[in-house]
Amino acid sequence: MSDQLVIAGRAFSSRLIVGTGKYRSFPEMARAHAASGADMVTVAVRRVNLTDKSKESLLDYIPRDKMFILPNTAACYNRRRSHSHRSARQGSGSFELGQA
């Protein structure tokens, strides 16, 4: 039996899934993610700034070559509520899912 978790042909070293909420800052979040050893992170699509590239984004602090992003569409009951409807519809879009 392998120690890896395999989902749809993708292998993960850790079964831990971390989130992006409740941190005081993006750098603190990045440090916590690194310390956790997790391979997957959930991201609330409503919290991601996809329109104003001049502003900092939590996606700037997630190493997409090491962490697989799982978009969380909670509380996005229609297109207007989801800032990332286009991305979710296209599958990978701005989140660049599956980079890890």
pLDDT tens for the chain, 100 residues: list them.
Answer: 568 999 989 999 999 999 998 899 999 999 999 999 999 999 988 778 778 888 888 899 999 999 999 988 776 666 555 544 444 444 444 444 444 4
Q: pTM above the 0.85 mark?
A: no
Domain that holds residue 82: 17-95
* Plot region of 20 (φ>0 → left; ψ -120 to 50 → alpha; else → beta): alpha
Q: In this structure, is residue 7 part of a structural domain?
A: no
Q: How many domains does the chain have?
A: 1
Residue 42's Cβ-count burial label (10 Å; 0-12, 13-18, 19+) is middle
Q: In this structure, is residue 5 part of a structural domain?
A: no
Residue 35's Cβ-count burial label (10 Å; 0-12, 13-18, 19+) is exposed
Q: In this structure, is residue 81 part of a structural domain?
A: yes
Amino acid code (one letter) for 32: A
